[in-house]
Structure formats: structure tokens, C-alpha cells
Structure 1
């Protein structure tokens, strides 16, 4: 879409701007389409974090894993105001065929990295409280934990098939507890997720405790958990959409299996203010690697997870509030007086690229 959508005439755009001002939407100038508020994430490399089991620290063998990346916060396009405030200006111009037969057919499970992003509709449907995933590729994704399908286990890395199956199950439970559990999403302590992490991993649990107690740009619990401020927003409905895949391989030493998880979660949200009914979506993608060890061969707690990698990208989270421990979705009224956009354009639904290859700064979201 160009700076002014060519499907809307100059007269209609002027009418939209004037109507928005008369309706009291915001106090500043109405932005042109495609404007977003940038935020700056922080790459964080805490000392001692994810250095592997004790044998690696004692004898120096193997690689210490210390590559921790912060969130890439990408905010909602202010151009969506055109649909959120005055959808009547453009709905009669929608191309025929959008949302036709098969548009809501559930997708089969993801078994490999996609080669491209999902196709985009020219004028997507506006989400509602009854249909919060309208206009989103996530409409065809699985609901919640159903989207976290475990691969078939096999013996690898000196670990039996049964042990690998247990590792996969533990990673799945962590992802659910960290990203789908309602208490976690409400900003409560993610106890179930934390209990799955190995206390023998150097300072991991105390560090998470500090992040939760005093979040900051260098100590953000969002690197591991999806959390929203219950004083400001709540889920619109009971469903979070999920899509991704899990793989595993032998680790660097006998008695180690590594599990790689790459999942995107789509959260539909509404402000808690009485009478507020606009739905906004925040899209969070996580790429994580966990290790489970055989305690007979490596110093570790049986069945517990070591975190080896945690990359996160969040689409539609206010850059200006980065580091306060919550994802901060923005709505139409928040964007009326937003500053001009900046940073690279990123599609939060594009799962074809590795998060490590994306720009490490706040950018411009192309859709939510």
C-alpha cells in the first residue's frame, strides 16, 4: 500500500480525517496510513546465562552458549485506522472473492520452514469481539496448545526413544505454560514454566526472579514469557492462535538431546475500559533451543530443561514502553498522534526467515 491507499479517493480520505477529528479520536493530527511508532529493543548477553551443564564449565569442553537476543518490538500500522475508525469508507471497494470458500479451512501442521510469508489480502477484514481473527492468516491456524504438535521420538545422542519423547513433552509443556497459560498472560508469576527449568543451570531461576520483580531493557521477562498488563488489556475471547514446529537432534556429547522450537502466537486483545470494543492483535514469534541431559553422564536434573537459545520478536507492542515487562498492544486511539514510522518493514506472520537474521531494532509492521 502506498502512503495514501489508491483505493480511497482524495475526497474520501479528507472526509475520514475530518470525521475522525469531529469524533474526538485523539488530540493530535491524524496520521497518514502506514505510520507506526518505533521502539528500540536491547540485545542482552547476561554473564553466565546458558553456559551449559556443569561439565562444560569444569573441563572447558564444548561451546558456551551465550547468544541471547532481546525482543524486536514492531508496532501496529496507524494506517489501519482507516478501517478501525471509518470502515464504511472502503468496505464497498473490497475486491470480489476475498474470504471465499476455503478461506477458513484449517491448515495442516507445519513440518518444515515455509518458503514465503502467507499471502496478504488487499483490504483485510476488521477483527471483532466475536471474530477476533478476521483478516489474519492466523484464522486458519490451530487453537492454543493444539498448535504445538510433537514430532515422533527416536533414540539420539545416547538417549533412548523414551527419554527423547519425555524431552519433547517437557518442551511442549514449557511453551504452553510460558505463552498460553492464562495466569501467565495476565502477568502473574509463570510458576509452571519456571519449574520445568533445571535449577542446576547457573543462576537461571534467580535471574528470572529478578526479571519478574524488576523488569528493564536489560532484564526483560518477555524474552521467555508472553505477558500483558491486566489493568490495561484482556484477551478478546478464549483462543490464542498457534503455529510452528519442533525438531530435535543429538547434542554435543553422549547423554544430550537438543530440542528446537519455532512457534508464533497470535493474541487478540481489547482494552479493559468499559464499553471499549476494538480488537487489536499482538503477534509473538519465539525460536528457542533446549537441552535435556542424562544425569548419569552429565551433571543435570533428570527431566529438567536447560535453555540454550531464546530469540523473540513481537509485532504490535509499544516501543516507547519497552522493558517494563509487558507486551503493550496499540489501538487506533493510541496511534492518532503517533510519531512518524521508522525502521525496516517486517511481516510478523512471515515464518520463512530465522529471527537471528532480522534487524535488531524496532521496525514497521506490515500487518497484524
Structure 2
């Protein structure tokens, strides 16, 4: 009878009793060779692995939880990659978006400018020098003293209304408000600047003032040297020039006094700075500057044949800077460096358009088209 083998180290066999009995039966029938006993080294390795255990998923791959977590991480990194790519594109298009100009684009930083208080009296001198910077679409007032001026209508500040002579406070207040409406409609309203009819400005003028409205209509309809609407209205040819942005810088003052017609006379002196660019072509930006001085009056309607609540236009003077000379088509024509000159060159004296310490034409004996010392 064949005996059951034993381990070399004296331990019991790793073959079970059932397997041994099956071997004996097969041996008698000659059906199978004896099972091979594992070596002691093989059993030691097997036993060591059994005690150490296999890591979770060592053969079957990561669990669904791990797969989901890894997928989420891939999605996060994909989103971050898209954002990073967009950021690179944005910086490539606008290097100024990077703080400190690390790419050395050389673009000057916008200087912090404190707004000027409202003008209540004539200044004693012209504004001081400002950094020499070229205007751009994003910064149309760079390099201009007007950067510290008020925006548009906010620069037309009314004085406190008080009764003057026989004109009550209410009439003075009405005269000031109508003067403001005239200035805004003639120099700031977008339709007027685009070359349209300055309807709001015309609406405050008295239709009973002889020839006034008829003359102004003729100026707008058929402008020429002696009938020039630019004497009262700021207008650009929309096929040639566009105003940049929505802001026109404004600075000036308004005063009033008793009129000789038992009413009130309002004196207004304002300068308007228009940033402009060509309607077509390169996006070059320049500025046209217009100074206007007007006197208007509301007489006493009890003694004069006037329309209540309307203005009589007594005087209007203007000074135009950076607009082509001897062109009388009813439009301002700014000069751009990129364009070939098509109009006569300025031959008059050089003046500072920002100098509000002098009156219009004061110190000048020439009627020729002057040159702006700065724009």
C-alpha cells in the first residue's frame, strides 16, 4: 500500500485526504499519475503572499469610485486648460492687460487726474503742461488738460438765481435754464454733432426776434462764408468724421445781470473739447476744440413784444481749433496726421485753445486762421 507523503520539514502534507483517496483509486485503475507535491520554497512564497494580501483592485482594475474620481480630475484639468488658452489669446491681443507692462509694450499708464472744481471766474493763466501722450480710442483725452474737465452737460453749471433789478428770481432762473439748453443743444446733443438739425437749440430762441430763425435756417440749409452755422453750432460731417465715445469735455461759466430792457441778460463762456476719428481708414484720434461766448436776454414781457419763456440772442462769438481753414460747408473738419492735407494751411497766430484767461481774439490782430499750440 502506498503511504501518504510527508513534508520535508515534518509538517503535514498540503494534499488533502480527499485528494489522496482519489489518487489511490485512480492508481489502482491506472488513470492518473501521482499529484506533484509543491516544493517547500514554493509553499513559503505562496504562504507569504497569502498573509500579505493583495491590494484592492490589483488584478481587476480601479473600482467605479476611483474611475469617477479620475474622470472628474480630467474634466477639471480640461476646463483649466481652456481658460488658460483664452487668457493667452487675450494677452496676445491686449498686452496692456498684464500688470506692470511685463512685455515691454511701452504703453504709458493712465495718469490719475482729480476733477477740477466748477469755474466761477476767469482763470488768471492757461492750464499747465500735461504729460505728452497721444489720444487713443480708449483714452481720447490723454495728453489734454481737458482730462480734468467735466463730462458734457455736467460742465454747464448754473449759478444761484437771484432777483436782479425788476426781474424776479423766477425769470432769472428761467433765463439760466434756457441758456443751458441752448448750449447743450448747440454743442453737445448727438444729433447736432452728427450734422443734423439742432432742433433743441433752436426751440429756445424767440421767433419774434427779427430775422434770427430765418437766418439760422438759411445757414443750415445753404452754408457759405457769410452764412456759416459753425458760428453757433458744433457739427461734423458724418461721412468724414466721427466723435469718439460718448463724452465731450466741457468747461466754462455763466453769469447774469440786469438788462436795459427791464429784464435779465445771461453771459456764457464755454469751451468744448471733441475727440474725433476718421469715419473710415486708420483709427487715428485727434481733438477739435471750440470756444463759444454768447449773450442772451429775456426782456420784461409786460413792456416788450416778446415770446414769454424764449431767449433773444444778443451776441455770439466763436473760436475754432483744429478745423480746416476757409471751408464753409457747415461742418468742422479736423486735421489728422495720417491724411494728406486738402485745405489751406493755418497762417494766423499760434494760440493755446485751453487758455480761458483771455477773451476770444484778445491779443490777436489777425483774422487769419490760427494755429493751436496743443490739442
Asked whether the two chains share a fold, i.e. TM above 0.5, the reply is yes
What is the distance in 2 between the residues matched to 1:213 and 1:362? 24
Q: Which moved more, 1:123-132 or 1:354-363?
A: 354-363
Aligned to 1:263: 270
Larger Rg: 2
Among candidates 292, 303, 308, match of residue 302 of structure 1: 308
- Where structure 1 has 5 or more consecutive residues not aligned to the other structure, the ranges are 1-90
- Equivalent residues in 2 for 1:1-368, closer than 5 Å: 103-121=112-130, 124-254=132-262, 256-273=263-280, 276-321=282-327, 323-334=328-339, 342-357=347-362, 358=364, 359-368=366-375
Q: Which gives a bigger RCO, structure 1 or 2 (Cα 8 Å, sep 6+)?
A: 1
Offset of residue 269 of structure 1: 0.4
Unaligned runs of 5+ in 2: 1-104
- Measured after TM superposition, the shift of residue 324 of structure 1 is 1.0
Shift in alpha-carbon separation, 1:279–1:156, aligned structure 2, 3 A? same
Deviation of 1:320 after TM superposition, in Å, equals: 4.1
1:66-105 deviations in whole A, cap 9, x for unaligned? xxxxxxxxxxxxxxxxxxxxxxxxx98x9xxx975xx511
**Given that residues 141 and 241 in structure 1 are in contact (C-alpha distance below 8 angstroms), is that contact kept between their aligned partners in structure 2?**
yes
Q: 1:253, 1:364 → 2: CA distance?
A: 40
> Would the alpha carbon gap of residues 162 and 128 (structure 1) be closer, same or farther in structure 2, given more than 3 Å must change?
same
Residue in structure 1 matched with residue 39 of structure 2 by the alignment: none
Distance 1:341 1:187 in 2: 24
What's the secondary structure of 1:355's corresponding residue? coil
- Summarize deviations over 1:214-244 as a string: whole Å, max 9, x none: 0001000011100000001111111000000
- C-alpha contact 1:157 1:253 (8 A) present in aligned 2: no
Mark the CA change 1:340 to 1:224 in structure 2 (over 3 Å): closer, same or farther.
closer
TM-score by length of 2: 0.68
Change (3 A) 1:272 1:198: same
